[in-house]
Amino acid sequence: MHWSDTLHAWVLTRYEDVMNHFRDSRMSANRVPIFEQQIQGLGPGVLTDFIDIVRKQMVNKDGPEHIRMRRQANPNFTPQALDSWRPAIRNTMKTLVDRVHDKRQMNLVKEISYEFPPRVIAELFGLPADEHEQLLKWADPIAQIGGLAAGGDPVGLARKANAAIKEFAEYLTDQAKNHRQTLGHDLISRMLESQRQDPRGENIEELVANAILMLIAGHTTTTDQFSNLVHDLLTHPDQLELLRGNPSLLPSAVEESMRFHPAVPFHYRIAAADIPLRGRVIRKGDVVFLGIAAANWDPKHFVDPERFDITRDALVHKHVAFSFGPHHCLGAGLARRELEIGLEVLLERMPGLRLDEERPPQQKAESLVFRGFHSVHVKW
């Protein structure tokens, strides 16, 4: 438990403390006040549209409002619903691998990781396949401002994020209106159906805000995690060989990578009341960073935590890469399927996959909230 003058926030790193505070109702998930504080230093109107939209997202809601919004999205993420998308996930990865296979080398991040999750999530939402690149252009600045990225030009980034989320919302509003005419099996149609069953009725603005949330979360985190997963295996050849000899370890390898090298090293909350902890007091209004990556390496919970071991029992020693409690990641099941299927296809088609020793990986660490790679050059 550490007070950081630099962050002006608490940092919790023990597994026990992180788990307890993920499920503590006194820890608010509403991070809108943090964005409002950012505005004060950026000038009037810079993040107005951004804040108006994120205020409507379930990730920034507590209690009954969070439950209500999450209930509308839940039917899209049941195991049965997600399993129906397995063929689409596999076909997407096969298409990407076919595109680069004869090159015998590539930047995994650019050619696979950065393309794979957004193509999948766009298809699940019933969005045109040829528009996924535009979705990425909108998603990146929104994710950066939401992830508290450091350095650079904060005013410029805020303006880009605000313009991106406004355009993204306008685009999805049109898509939702089109889907309303002919409901299908895509996520937008199912969210519209869920809203119609809600006593409050249809709310397109709320639907669009949460669709933006799911599209960005479904892209950003899984993109980084896929690069982390492949890098973890390529830098631990004994574990890669073990996996090749026993493909049934694929789910376990994915879980171990999320424990060992999570794409989201921190979540942050705001104390809604004074919270005594270990002889100190987290005051109401204090920002608290919950150290997911540190908790996943807590030696009191994980035996030999610095060892990457794909045979580790993830059911007995659960990582917290997907958060915990009421805000446990809604897309965890989708992410697991993407990572497992994507890795399976990649290893099948590229049996000699290895790191390019002449071009070392470049890690991405501009934010406390997102961690991955700018580049992972590989050969096969």
**CA atoms of 131 and 140, how far apart (whole Å):** 15
Give me the pLDDT at residue 330, please. 92
CA 342 vs CA 155, 191, 339: distances in Å: 37, 27, 5
User: How do residues 94-145 score in pLDDT, each as one tens digit?
Assistant: 999 999 999 999 999 999 999 999 899 988 888 887 787 888 899 888 888 8
Q: What is the DSSP letter of 94?
A: H
Number of structural domains (the chain) is 1
The token pair at 49 is: 């549209």
User: What is the C-alpha radius of gyration for the chain, rounded to an integer number of angstroms?
Assistant: 21
- Going by C-alpha positions, the residue among 342, 104, 99, 364 that lies closest to residue 375 is 364
Please give the model's pTM, rounded to 2 decimal places.
0.93
Pairing of strands 280-282, 362-364: unpaired
Q: Which two tokens stand for residue 228?
A: 């982390």
Give the structural domain span for 263: 2-379
Residues of the chain predicted below pLDDT 70: 38-44, 146-152
CATH assignment at residue 244: 1.10.630.10
Count the Cβ atoms, other than its own, within 10 Å of residue 164: 23
pLDDT for 314 equals 83
Instruction: Single out the residue of 268, 222, 209, 221 nearest to residue 73, CA to CA.
Output: 209
Alpha carbons 229 and 206: distance in angstroms, whole number: 34
Residue 180 host element (H or E): helix 154-181
Q: What single-letter DSSP state applies at residue 283?
A: P
How far, in Å, CA of 311 to CA of 307, rounded?
Answer: 11
- Which residues are CB-contacts of 115 (< 8 A; sequence separation ≥ 6)? 96, 132
Strands 377-379, 105-107: pairing is: antiparallel
* Total residue length of the chain: 380
Which residues lie across from 3 on neighbouring strands? Answer: 10
| 213: its two tokens | 């949330």
pLDDT score recorded for residue 148: 60
